[in-house]
Amino acid sequence: MSPDGATILVVDDEPVVLDTVRDGLVAHGYQVLRAANGDEAIQIARAHQGTIALALIDVVMPGTSGPEVAQRLHEARPDLKVLFMSGFSSEVVVVHGLTAGDPLLVKPFSLDTLGRKVHEILDYRSPFSRPPQHPR
């Protein structure tokens, strides 16, 4: 189901979510980089020598919000695609900077749903393959 073992950067402050999502993505054939916060995600994105096809980012995290992390990641990697995830209501994610056009995976989700959504985002024909547009 994965496009050639693409590399995905997963950013979430919950270790259980990081482990579960990593395991699910690996089971679907993806390579996974993990970050527990926005600063770590930026460091990993800058240091990683290969292509990172997608960042799967929690919307609500301590410190920097998911949309802010996405913006910073795009500065380092302009072609990076983003998929947000959140267990919070739509009102909460909007407060944290998510916009109506941003792709969102609602927690809890099954590993099959995760695999399908990631595959959809990585498919260049998808309307959600564009990077999110967030003001600085």
Q: Give the domains, in start order, of the chain with CATH numbers.
A: 7-122 (3.40.50.2300)
* pLDDT over 50 (residue 127): no
pLDDT tens for each residue of 68-121: 999 999 998 999 999 999 875 555 445 445 666 677 888 899 999 999 999 989
The structure tokens 């997963």 sit at 10
What is the Cα–Cα distance from 54 to 40, expressed in whole angstroms?
Answer: 16
**Counting beta carbons within 10 angstroms of the beta carbon of residue 12, is it exposed (0 to 12), middle (13 to 18) or buried (19 or more)?**
buried
pLDDT of residue 30: 95
pLDDT digits (tens, 9 = 90+) for 14-32: 999 999 999 999 998 999 9
Residue 135's pLDDT is what? Answer: 47
Residue 36: burial class (beta carbons within 10 Å; 0-12, 13-18, 19+): middle
**31 bridge partner residues:** 7
Q: What is the pLDDT of residue 104?
A: 85
Interacting residues of 44 by C-beta distance below 8 A, sequence separation 6+: 9, 33, 35
